Amino acid sequence: MADVINVSYDTQIPNNVNLSSDRKVLKALEKWHPGYLDWWNRLIPRNLQQSMVYLRTAVSVDPKGWAKFDYLKMPDYRWGILLAPRLEGRTIPCGEHKGQPAWQEVPGEYRNLLKRLIVIQGDTEPGSVEQQRFLGLTAPSLYDMRNLFQVNVEEGRHLWAMVYLLQKYFGKDGREEADDLLRRSSGSDEAPRMLGAFNQETPDWLSFFMFTYFTDRDGKMQLESLAQSGFDPLSRTCRFMLTEEAHHMFVGETGVGRIIQATVDAMTRAGLTDASDINKVRDLSVIDLPTIQKKLSLHYTLSLDLFGQEISTNAANAFNAGIKGRYMESRIEDDHLLKDSTYKVLDFENNQTVEREVSALKAINMRLRDDYVKDAEGGIGRWNKIINKAGIDFELKLPHQAFNRKIGAFAHKPIDPEGQLLSSEAYSAGLSDWLPTTSDGDFIESLMQPCYEPGQYARWIAPPRVGIDNKPGDFEYVKLHMA
């Protein structure tokens, strides 16, 4: 029999895990709540906190009708604990415990490994909100501002999801880890976020859309892997988080697509067909395609680093223990044990990129990264269709996986976007052609002027095809409080 699907509002914390009858955990979460609200209220400019935003709030975990839309101030959003329904008879899908009943409590021998996975996932959620904290001040439309704030509140809810697991299942040190999730801060010198991509700046809206396309896609891959976990509460938590994560990637893909559409439309009106004539395109107050490629290359490579080392004993241990699976584990046709299986990984030997067979267990990270690359390619193809339809000879591409890496076999290697090894001097000379420069950033920033009229959009981004919740084009998605 499945757990309760609808969300209960009988406590300060909406939930579908019967918090009202779990007084110890409820008390711990209520103690953590003020610190969370303080973090939130210090995060986003006050006038935006006081604005009325047309937000989607989960009222159920039934995929056929799980949310409602309404105006509310972001600090009043009801963050809560939502788990997908418990599947009767679920078993551990992989590793040495494959086929055994899924754990409802933390298995003692895997406690520390499991806790670390939860903490790392939890740390990314507030990190992204911190990176995006000032973007509302330069929103290109109320539609985009609303989408930003929807992403923000859902990342906040994902933090709550991980904190619940820490508070309920890991005792005193779990409560300490939950407090540390609010202590660390993106880009801080003293207490930065745990993963490098979450300490980068998100200075403009093109960066935001690339982040939600590429980095949130890494989140999708990680959540899907954790949804395979033999620890059932983690699996159920991630299964519901994936429902919300899909919207974040939609925001990213359509956002970049709308920027491309505005660029090619402006070029067509001006009679321009040469995408490489950057200055002429920029004179149209749109973002040129080569700069969009640079931003793509940056965010893609930063996201690749989130998968860690290509060969990883820790990833092998997590899989073997059954606490983290592979992407779509149930669809893979093998024994789900990987004792004698091999997998091809990219490596750097004798000053060249090579592919070699290694133990599939130790190549778990590489396989997940390969799945990520395939998943990311879809949106690139759809962006290129916009360019091709306009008759412009330009193609966006994912750079080689060895380019601009800081982690793994290719870390700090002078390899260009085509995968060619260069001299250090040639590599340094080419960086300004491959990655955003300060002047590129200055130009994009010059376009970041707010457009707050309902139904109006900044020149550098096209309107969406369909409004959120099927609202008309001039719908007031945010009722601004500008005092």
Would you kindly state where each structural domain of the chain is located, as residue ranges?
Answer: 19-479
Q: What φ, ψ does residue 101 adopt, rounded to 5°? A: -60, 140
DSSP state of 372: H
- What the block records as the tokens of 456 is 């109006």
Contacts of 94 (CB under 8 A, 6+ apart): 228, 230, 319, 322, 325, 326, 329, 336, 337
Model pLDDT, residue 5: 64
Closest CA to 197 of 126, 130, 124: 124
Helix (H) or strand (E) holding 207: helix 205-210
| CA 121 – CA 162 distance, rounded (Å) | 7
Q: Are the CB atoms for 206 and 444 separated by under 8 Å?
A: yes
- What's this model's pTM, rounded to 2 decimal places? 0.96
Model pLDDT, residue 2: 41
Mean pLDDT per block of 10 residues along the chain (483 residues) reads: 65 92 94 96 91 92 83 94 94 98 97 97 96 96 98 96 97 96 97 95 97 96 97 96 91 98 98 96 98 98 96 96 96 95 95 94 97 97 98 98 97 97 98 98 98 97 96 96 74
- The second-level CATH assignment, the architecture, of 19-479 is Orthogonal Bundle (1.10)
Model pLDDT, residue 3: 44
Model pLDDT, residue 4: 44
| CA 436 – CA 203 distance, rounded (Å) | 12
DSSP reduced 3-state for 460: coil
Length of the chain: 483
